[in-house]
A and B are shown apart, each in its own frame.
Chain A
Amino acid sequence: MNYYPSSCGLLAILRRNDSEKISGKIVSNSLDSIKYRGSDKGSGYAVFNLNDNNYKIKIFYNGDEEKLNKIISEKFDISNYYVENNNNVKSYCYNLDVIDLNLIDNVNYLLWKNRSGRIYSSGTSLNVFKGVGYPLDVSDEYHIDNMKGDLWLAHTRQPTNSPGDEPYWSHPFSTFNIAIIHNGDISSFGANRESLKNHGIKSFVGTDSEVISYIFRELLKKYDLVTSIKIMNNKINDKYIKYINRGYVLDGPYTVIIGYDDGSDLYLIGLTDKTKLRPVILGEDKNNYYIASEEKEIKLINKNARIWTLEPDSYFIASLKKGLINSGRKNIKYSKTYDINNYDIDAYNIDYNKLDNEILKLNKKDIKIKNVTGHKYIGIKIFNKNYNLDLYGNAGNCLMNLNENNNANIYGNVADDCCDSMSGGEVKIYGSAGDVLGQAMNNGRIYIKGDAGNRCGIQLRAYDNIPYIVINGRFDDYLGEYMSGGVITVLSNNKYSGKYIGSGMTGGKIYIYGRVNSKKIGMQPDFKNNILRALLMESLIDNDLYKNLKNKNFIDIIDLLPEEAKIYIKKLYNKNEIPSYNYRYLNKNEYNELYYIIKDFDAKMNTNNLKKLHNKFTVIEKRI
């Protein structure tokens, strides 16, 4: 039994109930803008139209047509059929009177035994179109541009290995009225497949995405939509449900997008793994809801769409009739859109990887660029050339990597991996930043007016110089992970900020305005109550102390234990996993150090934070 890992770009659009149907042309053009994430080896689309009640299945098949007809007519009542696509592996579309799910599995088992074919689309409202080629190749093949739909899913794929030029492994994957696209590599794949096999599903083409579609289908037989999603996302509290479905939990990196018709409504669902290891951008405007791999896919459709990111370990749900059900993020703040009239470069028609070439062509150091739409690697060719760049729009991955002395102002959002290994210069982000901002930075400054994503300032280090990161808004998980030097300052006291702050810290300082829930600091053992009960049982602590400690977080217990208990407790965590923290006023040196930084921040970012330095901060440092 095989498994084929791959990598991908995603897009999904759901219309609002009072809006017009979405044109396939919009979908294919938007997907085409990120075709570098995929390859010519596979793309696909799924469209849902709620009012379509005709049963149909679609089959890729490379054998004798009569034989296929025989197999299908033995299992189903066919109204009619036609060849939709005449490639080396043909696509047959059968209109049926009714569909039995078990029979689909049955036919797939028969067809896949010698890899002669596969049912790849089944349902009423759902229609999948997929093949071998870039997004526009496949949309041309099926005339996607002429179609309209209530809900679209679209996918471009980079297989690490595609056996021959066959379409079976392209996304979306579907089971009855469920379509799935996925970016990631499910590490629980083998366990998930084993559970499905125990329940009689015998035939797999060998992708994790297909397995997810089966899991979702099986769970919906027993549970409602939200429970099913929570089981896959490992967010179920009920001990029995959790136990009995232990083979249906997804692990590893994933962004999964599901389209689902429950018979009366259409749902768009997006879910991400525990630490959001794959990109996922959410958006909405007056017409539609969006899920995408990159912000530019949405901004190309509507420059003014409201954008946010999915919180790690969470999910998004919207439906045609009910609208937004779960936004996937608490307390969303949208970034402002900035405009510019005088500019030196219009990036609109410049390739995603060529903006530096245009910068180098100009005979000046202060450069304004408009229409930055997901351009990657900006600054890498000019890392030591002392430019001042003003970027309007949304910057793509790997902005200002290895920067030594350039200054960059980004009027908009920035994607992932910004300022990796930066050793000087100043980067100011007026929107929000994606994940892994400022990794291994060892000098220079990063200012963020909006929010920061996962793993901001990880591996920050200082030797001869001190790097500074200042965040005006919220941050996601693992702020300052592995940090060994430098200073991160967070100027807002946001209860929705992330957890595991300073995990693995061996140096440097994190200042967070106001009191941080100590549960969020470092990596604390999750069976604290058992530990305390055991200490009580062994008379290592007395009842009073037990009661006193019971409601505290682990990090706050450590220092309150008597020495004879500490001996044991200290073994339960690595010293670096849990930094120490203090909620206190800044001392004089700290105040003086931050005064100049925050004053500069206020002046440049047009904020008013300086007076906060007189209030208390949560100061996080390595544990000694």
Chain B
Amino acid sequence: MNNIVNNFMNIPLQKEPDFWSFDKINHIRELADTGEPYKIFIKNNSLRILDNVNFKMNNDKITLNTHSNTKSYLADMEMSVPLYLGDMSYGALSGNPNLAIAKSAEITKTMSGTGEGGLYKDISSYKRIFVQWASARFGVTAETLNAGSGIVIKIGQGAKPGIGGHLPADKVTYNISKARKIPENTDAISPAPHHDIYSIEDLSQRVEALKLLTDKPVFVKVAATNYIPYIVTGIARSGADGVIIDGHGAGTGATPLAIRDNLGIPVELAVASSHNILLKEKLRKNFKIIAAGRVSNSTDAAKLYALGADFVSLGTSILIAMGCIMVRKCNLGYCPAALTNKTDNRKLFDIDFGVNNIINFIKGFKIEIENILDNLNLKNINELIGNKDLLIGNNLSRNTLNVLDIDYKNIKNTYYKQGDFIPDKKYLNNLINKGEPEITGMGSNAPPDVVKPSRIIDFLMLDGSQVTRPSIDPYREAINLNINMCSGKINLSLPVIFDISNSNDEIKNGILFASSLMNTLVINDRIKNKYKNITLLKYDTFYKYKNYIYTFDYKNKNASGYIINDYDLLKIAKLKNNLKNKRERYDILLYINEFRNTGDIAKYMTLGADAVILPSKIFEYGLANQNNINEKALNFIIGVKKELSLLCGAMGISNMQNSLTGNIELLRSVNLDNNISKILNLSEAGSL
């Protein structure tokens, strides 16, 4: 057969910035090819926090003749090096890659996680696997739960905090349908929450039940989100044996872009903070922390060990070792490398090629770690774990350094505008054409870490509910996005107002039609009688609805509400302070001139806006042509609405206006200028 993939393909030119850069992919390929070390103590020039944490020494000698020892233990088994090959399901991967991973873990004496899709072929014959108890129970039987060395209760993952696993209908073939006991060609969207785990005490209960059933170690996998230190202590107290903390930017087979790019916090902050609190609460002993998400090389791994991780998890890098070329089409099922393609046997991944590469990769990775230990004058890996004294921060903010709890060379507040704002045309175009949330594959490239930040909100991340409260399923449960404005006189289905005053008539008519159908508000320079109930009339410096006035002038006492421009964001603090105990009588509207995606809307609301205004030029920017404007305008509003449902559900919010407006508990800043954090009253990601 000529459709067997058993070779590396050329890496396509990356037109946009990608975390998995050519250099990173190339490094992994070098290891996979040779099984020998390639590069250690790599320095990346980026805003990613981990890249600004370095070891305090300057030796970077690499040799094959190492002295240190990387031996470790997991689930009572000896591990040659503390690596966990992370949780990629049968379905997301096409079977043979799953098998290659399980087999490689066995040979390299590491551990692999099977993900939530059940066990492909004879994977159950391998002992170095962790099987999964996930919200959809795909493939869950007493037999599979007993098949591995441990069980992972999957609460969440870094690429989609607060929502469930997602296998698009195209990939639910006969084979997958059989493994998951669901109909063919239907989306397999796992429930957002576990319906047996709505709280910490529910989690304790499920841990206890699984232990009674199997007598095996139980781990809990969570996305790194706002309450991560508390969640990890809760997990430790629940009787679980460890936690897998999956950070922002981690990979996945399919996820809504709006969720992936806006929720969750960096794993380095989560690990540092969790390690510290467990020590303080005397819960650290015999409890394992596995750090996952964006572990791209041995240098990343070593830093995470030093910040407090016992193990690191490799997912995307294992795929790259098996030939992934990062075209980010995992959700479509046409993977050129036959890794995430659909299981219709049209293209097969060569298992031996995969096993060979992974073994070499891990071998090289291990020797790199040994070299790092040698250069640090450490005898074994245990001397590195939690040894924060070896690290030094560079160009990080004080709040970030406080969470990391490491020494620093200098403290620096990064200027938030590092580049010009560029709207995401592809994303807008998708919303306009489909009216559905954009689904994408692999990890995030969002600012500030990869794409250059240009706005304050690029440094802010939203919460994803993990363990302490359930998320709400956005596809099948009730999430209320309605809002009231003008003392309850205006009732709308969405906190988004379109400013069409500068558009041509065709665009205007399309958005008016869609707004009328969706019951949302528009701002226009004249009132069409038909739409008078949904039109805010634009004057020079204010907008008017019947007798209610919305103004940019905060001194105007007769206003019903005030408008703030996104580039004047910090004014919101002052405005709220002026209004004080009269705040609830006014609407605060945020005018978004620079719109990246719906995450922006949620962020501005948590900062205090009751609703946002979007100029119709954003819609126009995403239009490929002027056909079917009515339908496209409707798609756009519906797409925004669905994405807002996703975001609210993931945050555990069923009632957007009541629960989101002013709820800064749902926001965390990531290495944001501390002066700005203070004005906006924000906590740093990972802080207590």
Contact = CB atoms under 8 A, between A and B. Distances in A.
B136 interface: yes
B201 A158 contact: yes
Contact of B581 (A198, A249, A455): A198
B186 A484 contact: yes
Interface of A: 1-9, 36-39, 158, 160-161, 183-185, 187-191, 193-195, 198-200, 234, 238-247, 249, 251-253, 273-275, 277-278, 353, 356, 376-377, 380-381, 383-384, 397-398, 401-402, 404, 416-417, 420-421, 423, 436, 439-440, 442, 455, 458-459, 461-463, 478, 481-482, 484-485, 500, 503-504, 506-507, 523, 526-527, 530-531, 533-535, 537-538, 567-568, 571-572, 574, 576-577
A244 B516 contact: no
Nearest to A384: B142
A325 B352 CA distance: 71
A461 B182 contact: yes
Contact of B584 (A9, A195, A402, A523): A195
21 contacts: A2-B688, A4-B230, A7-B234, A9-B201, A185-B469, A189-B665, A191-B661, A193-B665, A198-B581, A239-B489, A244-B584, A247-B658, A249-B655, A252-B659, A274-B478, A461-B181, A485-B181, A530-B519, A538-B513, A571-B634, A571-B635
- Most A CB contacts (10 A, CB to CB) among B137, B227, B281, B681 go to B137
Contacts of B482: 526-527
A274 B606 CA distance: 22
A163 to B, nearest CB: 8
B517 A278 contact: no
Given A381-B212, A531-B517, A500 B477 contact: yes
B658 A249 contact: yes
Interface in B433-475: 435, 465, 468-470, 473, 475
- Most B CB contacts (10 A, CB to CB) among A2, A274, A397, A482 go to A482
Tier of interface size on chain B: 35 or more
B652 interface: yes
Contacts of A3: 227, 665
B584 A246 contact: yes
Contacts of A537: 516, 530
A458 B485 CA distance: 37
A315 B202 CA distance: 23
- Most A CB contacts (10 A, CB to CB) among B177, B476, B608 go to B476
A523 B662 contact: no
A170 to B, nearest CB: 16
B195 A439 contact: yes
Contacts of A381: 212-213
A48 B675 CA distance: 48
Given A8-B201, A377-B208, A463-B181, A243 B465 contact: no
Contact of B469 (A184, A194, A420, A436): A184
Interface string B661-688: 1111110000000000000010100001
A185 to B, nearest CB: 4
Q: Majority SS of interface residues in chain A?
A: loop
A192 to B, nearest CB: 8
Given A187-B659, A190-B662, A158 B200 contact: yes
B598 interface: no
B631 to A, nearest CB: 7
Contact of B137 (A190, A246, A383, A459): A459
B491 A239 contact: yes
Contact of A398 (B186, B209, B473, B688): B209
B141 interface: yes
Contacts of A7: 199-202, 234, 468
Given A242-B484, A568-B517, A5 B478 contact: no
B212 A161 contact: no
Interface pairs A-B: 5 shortest CB-CB: A190-B665, A504-B476, A239-B488, A243-B488, A190-B663
Given A4-B230, A38-B201, 17 more contacts: A160-B234, A161-B230, A161-B281, A183-B199, A238-B488, A243-B487, A252-B469, A275-B477, A376-B209, A402-B145, A417-B196, A421-B140, A439-B137, A440-B137, A455-B195, A527-B493, A537-B530
Contact of A239 (B476, B484, B665): B484
B360 interface: no
Contacts of A506: 182-183, 186
B435 to A, nearest CB: 5
A251 B655 contact: yes
A131 B187 CA distance: 50
Interface in B544-585: 576, 579-581, 583-585
B585 A244 contact: yes
Nearest to A243: B488
Contacts of B576: 198
A277 B202 CA distance: 11
A191 to B, nearest CB: 4
A377 B659 contact: no
A188 B195 CA distance: 21
A193 B96 CA distance: 52
A2 B229 CA distance: 12
B72 interface: no
A571 B435 contact: yes
Contact of A397 (B205, B477, B530, B579): B205
Given A199-B581, A234-B658, A239-B489, A576 B478 contact: no
A577 B475 contact: yes
Given A161-B229, A234-B655, A420-B196, A247 B477 contact: no
A398 B683 CA distance: 38
B24 interface: no
B25 interface: no
A574 B477 CA distance: 11
B472 to A, nearest CB: 8
B653 interface: yes
B318 to A, nearest CB: 29
Contacts of A274: 478, 654
Nearest to A454: B195
Interface string B294-335: 000000000000000000000000000000000000000000
A465 B297 CA distance: 47
B237 interface: yes
- Most B CB contacts (10 A, CB to CB) among A251, A356, A523 go to A251
A379 to B, nearest CB: 10
Contact of A535 (B204, B477, B491, B517): B517
Contacts of A6: 200
Nearest to A439: B195
- Most A CB contacts (10 A, CB to CB) among B231, B468, B517 go to B517
A504 B187 CA distance: 11
A1 B667 CA distance: 13
B198 interface: yes
Given A239-B489, A481-B476, A504-B476, A278 B198 contact: yes
B212 A356 contact: yes
B199 A184 contact: yes
B351 interface: no
B163 to A, nearest CB: 14
Interface in B413-436: 435
B629 interface: no
A189 B584 contact: no
A136 B186 CA distance: 53
Interface in B92-109: none
A251 B468 contact: no
Given A251-B658, A253-B199, A503-B476, A198 B583 contact: yes
B638 interface: yes
A485 B182 CA distance: 8
Contacts of A535: 517
A576 B475 contact: yes
Contact of B205 (A160, A185, A398, A440): A398
Contacts of A190: 606, 662-666
Contacts of B518: 527, 530
B406 interface: no
B376 interface: no
